């Protein structure tokens, strides 16, 4: 008999009620008396569990009753409504076969485990309620992002992971090599002889696909990337991972205003999609992980995002400097405490902060007419601070070259990038969304290690 | 005035005919007489171009006429039907503004360029017809894959890129390190001192997410990965890249038959999706890149895939050994020439070859009852050979340990993997689809360098 999923049973219950069904899943809990027993079954396709009732008429009643939590079973029986109970229906089993027993030392007994402990068993933690919810929602967010851009005819571009350049010089990079580390070949003048490496040059793992992405926006007009990026930062915090995923859309014939409109509709789209497709999971987060989560997300979906310039924001913040550990003044970068104050206390909704001093932003951002600020934007959201950073790009060849010279960037490394300003340059803009930060935001999970299946952080690369 | 995309105009032409429209795009060609001129415009959103007619009533008629191929312009005008012409409509321009000129040395003049030459300008080649088609279709295939799995409630899992283990020992790996290559720290006994590296251990770039994926299938039942994988193979061929993307679904409570059904429906789904969403591009490939492409894909969509065991296949092939460079006999691995012979000459449609000798397959594949073969499957398609490789996994703890011992694998490295066979093991299966091979198959492109935006191959890591 064909196996039905528990999701399918919950979704189309009318089709299955009072009929024979067959499901496979894992035992979440089991209790038995002399003549009958109850199994709470989860098959991973749906957050809610299915109750299975079995009786001693069953040939293997004893074997079934001896099962441990975590065992895999296949249950055949009738789905019957249970109007008096908490759950809407249960299976009256006629047959239960044990697909795979669970050894008595199964690490996930029916009790609450700490997040720290669960991190040590990253191969088993997706079997818990919390991580079932986190990783299903992570999957749905990823899909919502693709759906959003594809519905708008954006072209998905796979920018390279291994790179010979360092993009914006952002942070520490991982080196990639096939040379024997115990015996690195050196040139006569005592340098590493990269001509003997796989690519015949020094290579790193990418920190951003943006510059590559821009080349495709100048061909397809609207593109997005969605891929892994890497930072070898020695930061052991709840928000830093060495390997994480980023989404970087890039739009041609578009300015900073278009960029913000895109970011706002994308965020709203993702939230709506997840609320619609994972209501059980979102209720779980709201109840057990982050009280107030649903109101906060609701507020984001239903408000127009606020807009403020960096200069105005500094004005507001500096009047409240007594509230901050780091005091602000014009020219400084905003810390999370300032960002959260702006979005949570001042505007009480998401806010776009625009036009930052050029000194604290990347070389490729478009210089504003004041000559001091650039057309950059950060999107701040309650509960987290910055979730998106973007900018209009400098599309003027001369201005870009000048800025690169000021910063001492080697022009040869950016020939391809300058070409875009030489052959059919357009005003264009883009932004980056850190995928894990987005997952944390939507789930209320507070440690990045708990929204990545197998997190990589300083000193930690397990499984 | 809001810019409309050329795709939108083609899609909803009735809405725009005889109305004023405004489009931004790049000049593909331009020719002018004394009093008027024609521009062929592409905006990257649609394969077909839009013709623009402009007249000398325009103030900047001379400036416009001087434009070079590749210039970015914004055109305002009326969309008028052209029943007598090849194209269905054109814009009678009232205003053309030059967004960005194109320097006279623009490398993409209106002539045919060789693929080899275009590879040297990977930042500009997406502006050509061929690469517009390739990379839009690549994007659509990626989305079709997500859509297929998400519609079936599969959970998308991001398996890690940086890994401390070597999975199946498949091929050469890239090492990842933050140590100073010019000065690698060594231990007293003359080994590399990885305790000083970022992760405090030796790490590599992944060659497969399968083993990690399996852990999630044992929690969510049906999962898939879609991410980059790496091979440091020193192969300079048209089919090898050092960095490529893979899709690896994994299904629990499922055997090899379920696995093949999934693979067959996925392939058919992808092809149907692309034919429906990129008819212009697919016709282009059929006409200019690979004659017969559409018939071949049509055949795949409309046939039931054939099934043959490895042993039967060897029987068929060995009777035709005179046709092959490599002669076959039981126990040998199949070469592309054999695979293509089977699918193109013998079955004339896609074929699943199953039950290979265990010696030529990976340790985790389920041993068949004959003790000699494993429940492996390769899917072969006309024109390419193997496109998918998969297997049912060994779900028996003892058998798996025995096989690992035979092959001298270190059990400690696979503790997590063995745990899956200890705690609620289920029959399960999965397969891997090389994404680039899939793109080559659907587009008829014959060099993997031409289906990856910025390809990484031996000695080549540009941009």
Q: For chain A, 463 residues long, give each residue's pLDDT as a single digit of tens.
A: 789 999 999 999 999 999 999 999 999 999 988 899 999 999 999 999 999 999 999 999 999 999 999 999 999 999 999 999 989 999 999 999 999 999 999 999 877 899 999 999 999 999 999 999 999 999 999 999 999 999 999 999 999 999 987 544 545 899 999 999 999 999 999 999 999 999 999 999 999 999 999 999 999 999 999 999 999 999 899 999 999 999 999 999 999 999 999 999 999 999 999 999 999 999 999 999 999 999 999 999 999 999 999 999 999 999 999 999 999 999 999 999 999 999 999 999 999 999 999 999 999 999 999 999 999 999 999 888 999 999 999 999 999 999 999 999 988 889 999 999 999 999 999 999 999 999 999 999 999 999 999 999 999 999 8
Nearest CA to A165 among B402, B92, B462, B425?
A: B462
**Average of per-residue pLDDT across B318-347:** 97
State both tokens at A253. 């014939």
Q: Which residue on chain A is closest to B123 by alpha carbon?
A: A215
Question: Which residues 162-201 on chain A approach chain B with CB closer than 8 angstroms?
Answer: 162-165, 172, 174-179, 181-182, 184, 186, 190-192, 198-201
Using CA atoms, how far apart are residues A223 and B132, in angstroms rounded to an integer? 12
- Pick from A139, A235, A274 the residue to mutate for testing the B interface (most B CBs within 10 Å): A139
Nearest CA to A155 among B436, B435, B3, B453?
A: B453
CB B70 within 8 A of CB B27: yes
Q: Do B165 and A27 touch (CB under 8 A)?
A: no
Nearest CA to A144 among B45, A158, A152?
A: A152
pLDDT of residue A168: 45
pLDDT digits (tens, 9 = 90+) for B11-39: 999 999 999 999 999 999 999 888 999 99
Using CA atoms, how far apart are residues A137 and A282, in angstroms rounded to an integer? 8
Question: Which residues 134-163 on chain B approach chain A with CB closer than 8 angstroms?
Answer: 135-136, 138-139, 142-143, 146, 150, 153, 155-163
Measure in Å the smallest separation between the Cα of B8 and chain A Cα atoms: 10
Nearest beta carbon to residue B157 from set A70, A221, A453:
A453
Contacts of B100 (CB under 8 A, 6+ apart): A395, A421, A423, A424, A425, A426, B71, B72
- B455-458: list long-range contacts, CB under 8 Å, 24+ apart: B455/B119, B455/B122, B455/B241, B455/B243, B456/A160, B456/A162, B456/A199, B456/B241, B456/B242, B456/B243, B457/B236, B457/B240, B457/B241, B457/B242, B458/A198, B458/A199, B458/B234, B458/B235, B458/B236, B458/B242
pLDDT digits (tens, 9 = 90+) for A147-171: 999 999 999 999 999 998 754 454 5
A242 contacts on B by Cβ (under 8 Å): 162, 198-199
pLDDT of residue A205: 96
Strand order in the sheet with B162-163: A162-163, A203-205, A175-177, B175-177, B203-205, B162-163
pLDDT digits (tens, 9 = 90+) for B46-83: 999 999 999 999 999 999 999 999 999 999 999 999 99
Look at B167-171, B231-235, B275-279, B373-377 and tell me which has the smallest mean pLDDT.
Answer: B167-171
- Residue B431, strand partner residues: B390
Nearest beta carbon to residue A221 from set B43, B179, B232:
B43
Place of tokens 């979704």: A11
CB B377 within 8 A of CB B259: yes
Measure in Å the smallest separation between the Cα of B423 and chain A Cα atoms: 4
Report which DSSP code applies to A234. Answer: -
pLDDT of residue A287: 97
Nearest beta carbon to residue A200 from set B164, B192, B459:
B459
Residue B171 — very low, low, confident or very high, per pLDDT cuts 50/70/90? low
Nearest CA to A108 among A71, A136, A133?
A: A71
Report which DSSP code applies to A285. Answer: I
The DSSP-derived string for A132-200 is HHHHHHHHHHHHHHHHHHHHTTPEE----SEESS-TTT-S---EEE-S-GGG--B-TTSSB-GGGSTTS
pLDDT of residue B383: 86
CB B281 within 8 A of CB B326: no
**Average of per-residue pLDDT across B298-304:** 94
- Whether pLDDT at B307 is above 80: yes
Nearest beta carbon to residue B419 from set A123, A165, A184:
A123
Using CA atoms, how far apart are residues A391 and A376, in angstroms rounded to an integer? 4
Using CA of residue A104, residue A106, residue A110, residue A114, what is the dihedral sign?
A: positive
For chain B, what is the radius of gyration of the CA atoms?
Answer: 27
Interface contact A243, partner B, CB < 8 A: yes
- Pick from A176, A241, A419 the residue to mutate for testing the B interface (most B CBs within 10 Å): A176
pLDDT of residue B168: 46
Using CA atoms, how far apart are residues B48 and A125, in angstroms rounded to an integer? 50
pLDDT of residue B165: 72
Measure in Å the smallest separation between the Cα of A1 and chain B Cα atoms: 12
This prediction has a pTM of 0.97
Using CA atoms, how far apart are residues A241 and A245, in angstroms rounded to an integer? 10
Length of chain A: 463
Q: Which residue on chain B is closest to A163 by alpha carbon?
A: B461
Using CA atoms, how far apart are residues B406 and B418, in angstroms rounded to an integer? 16
Residue B89 — very low, low, confident or very high, per pLDDT cuts 50/70/90? very high
Nearest beta carbon to residue A425 from set B72, B160, B417:
B72
Q: Which residue on chain A is closest to B157 by alpha carbon?
A: A139
Mean pLDDT, chain B, whole residue set: 96
Nearest CA to A229 among B180, B158, B196, B242?
A: B158
- Whether pLDDT at B204 is above 50: yes
CB B165 within 8 A of CB B413: yes
ipTM: 0.97
Nearest CA to A446 among A381, A387, A384, A385?
A: A384
Nearest beta carbon to residue B426 from set A72, A136, A174:
A72
- Pick from B181, B227, B426 the residue to mutate for testing the A interface (most A CBs within 10 Å): B181
CB B140 within 8 A of CB B134: no
CB A270 within 8 A of CB A388: no
Q: Do A253 and B24 touch (CB under 8 A)?
A: yes
Using CA atoms, how far apart are residues A28 and A39, in angstroms rounded to an integer? 7
Nearest beta carbon to residue B159 from set A43, A142, A453:
A453
pLDDT of residue B134: 98
Q: For residue A314, give the 3-state DSSP assignment.
A: helix
Nearest beta carbon to residue A419 from set B123, B146, B158:
B123
Look at A155-169, B86-100, B199-213 and tell me which has the smallest mean pLDDT.
Answer: A155-169
Using CA atoms, how far apart are residues B234 and B232, in angstroms rounded to an integer? 6
Question: Which residues 56-85 on chain B approach chain A with CB closer than 8 angstroms?
Answer: 70-72, 74
- B399-407: list long-range contacts, CB under 8 Å, 24+ apart: B399/B367, B400/B363, B400/B364, B403/B358, B403/B363, B403/B367, B404/B363, B407/B363
State both tokens at A455. 């997190």
- Residue B81, strand partner residues: B89
pLDDT digits (tens, 9 = 90+) for B123-153: 999 999 999 999 999 999 999 999 999 999 9
Interface contact B461, partner A, CB < 8 A: yes
Measure in Å the smallest separation between the Cα of B73 and chain A Cα atoms: 8
């Amino acid at each position: 008999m064909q196996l039905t999923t528990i999701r399918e049973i919950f979704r189309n219950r009318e089709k299955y009620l009072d009929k024979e069904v067959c499901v496979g899943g894992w035992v979440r809990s089991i209790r038995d008396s002399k003549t009958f027993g109850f199994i709470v079954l989860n098959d991973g396709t749906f957050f809610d569990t299915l109750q299975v009732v079995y009786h001693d008429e069953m040939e293997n009643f004893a074997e079934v009753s001896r099962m441990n939590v975590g065992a895999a079973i296949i249950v055949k029986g009738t789905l019957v409504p249970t109007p008096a109970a908490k759950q809407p229906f249960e299976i009256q089993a006629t047959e239960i076969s044990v697909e795979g027993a669970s050894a008595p030392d199964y690490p996930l007994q029916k009790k609450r485990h700490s997040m720290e402990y669960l991190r040590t068993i990253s191969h088993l933690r997706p079997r818990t309620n919390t991580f079932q919810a986190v990783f299903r929602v992570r999957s749905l967010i990823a899909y919502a992002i693709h759906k959003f851009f594809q519905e708008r005819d954006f072209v998905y571009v796979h920018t390279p992971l291994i790179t010979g350049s360092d993009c914006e010089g952002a942070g520490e990079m991982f080196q990639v090599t096939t040379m024997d580390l115990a015996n690195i070949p050196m040139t006569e003048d005592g340098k590493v002889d990269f001509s003997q490496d796989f690519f015949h040059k020094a290579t790193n793992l990418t920190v951003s696909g943006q510059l590559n992405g821009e080349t495709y926006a100048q061909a397809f007009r609207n593109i997005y990337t969605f891929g892994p990026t890497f930072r070898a930062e020695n930061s052991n915090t709840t928000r830093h991972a060495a390997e994480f995923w980023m989404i970087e859309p890039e739009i041609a014939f578009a300015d900073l205003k278009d960029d913000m409109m895109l970011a706002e509709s994308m965020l709203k789209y993702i939230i709506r999609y997840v609320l619609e497709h994972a209501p059980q999971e979102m209720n779980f987060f709201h109840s057990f992980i982050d009280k107030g989560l649903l109101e906060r997300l609701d507020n984001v979906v239903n408000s127009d995002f606020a807009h403020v310039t960096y200069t105005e924001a500094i004005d507001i913040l500096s009047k409240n400097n007594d509230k901050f550990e780091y005091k602000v003044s014009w020219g400084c970068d905003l810390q999370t405490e300032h960002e959260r104050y702006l979005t949570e206390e001042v505007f009480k909704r998401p806010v776009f902060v625009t036009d930052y001093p050029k000194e604290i932003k990347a070389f490729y951002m478009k210089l504003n007419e004041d000559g001091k600020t650039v057309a950059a934007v950060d999107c701040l959201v309650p509960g987290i601070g910055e979730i998106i950073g973007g900018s209009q790009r400098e599309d003027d060849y001369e201005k870009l070259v000048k800025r690169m010279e000021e910063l001492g960037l080697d022009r040869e490394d950016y020939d391809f990038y300058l070409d875009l300003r030489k052959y059919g340059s357009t005003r264009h803009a883009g932004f980056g969304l850190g995928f894990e930060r987005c997952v944390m935001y939507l789930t209320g999970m507070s440690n990045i290690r708990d929204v990545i299946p197998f997190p990589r952080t300083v000193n930690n690369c397990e499984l």
